[in-house]
Chain A
């Protein structure tokens, strides 16, 4: 099993629709989970952290299922500006720290007018 696995897409979604993607991770000891966003030819930027209880930030909702080792991201009322690649990210060892993060290869989202 790959460390962090995502469907690469692309997901072509009409503006205003709801879209969801998941990722799975292999290290059951991982403690920190994130979604990053990367625009074309730009650097990745943190979109949101993912907490065990689930969390919401405006139109974005992230959830974590530790038992099944997957993380989800839901985008409601999608906007053209949401078009980007979404990277699922997991810390490399339990407890976090300076050992870095493992990035999924990303899911490419295209919002169509």
Chain B
């Protein structure tokens, strides 16, 4: 079974803090993705990566950056957390070239106060 894990299920941070969300997949997938999910807005793509050290902006990259130093690990960084970044963050991975099934981690519920 594909397994995607995220470092925390719940996280509370203060405005202005730097926040790291970690995601690890164990299926040797080339592609990894970060989404946020908000009520009424659905899942929105923040960043994705199709190879080590490669990254592409999604629909809402502002205020975020990412890092992919190893194939299995994709980190989302909030440089200076703000209250409007309070959300559920979901990481996903997929095989390359499929344009297809993505496997999601359990999500991190981030609250910025």
A residues less than 8 Å from B100 (CB atoms) = 32, 34, 49, 91, 96
B58's contact among A96, A100, A105, by CB below 8 Å, is which?
A100
B46-105 CB contacts (< 8 Å) to partner A = 48, 50, 56, 58, 90, 94, 96-102, 104-105
Interface size on A, residues (CB 8 A): 24
A32 and B42 contact, CB distance less than 8 A: no
Instruction: Determine whether A44 belongs to the interface, using a CB cutoff of 8 Å to chain B.
Output: yes
Question: Dominant SS at the B interface?
Answer: loop
Minimum CB–CB distance from B111 to chain A (whole Å) comes to 15
B99 and A91 contact, CB distance less than 8 A: yes
A43 and B104 contact, CB distance less than 8 A: yes
Which of A31, A45, A93, A100 has its CB near the most chain B CB atoms (within 10 A)? A100
Residue-wise interface mask of A (31-62) relative to B, using a CB-CB cutoff of 8 A (1 in contact, 0 not): 11010000000111110010000000000000
B30-51 CB contacts (< 8 Å) to partner A = 30-31, 33, 35, 40-43, 45, 48, 50
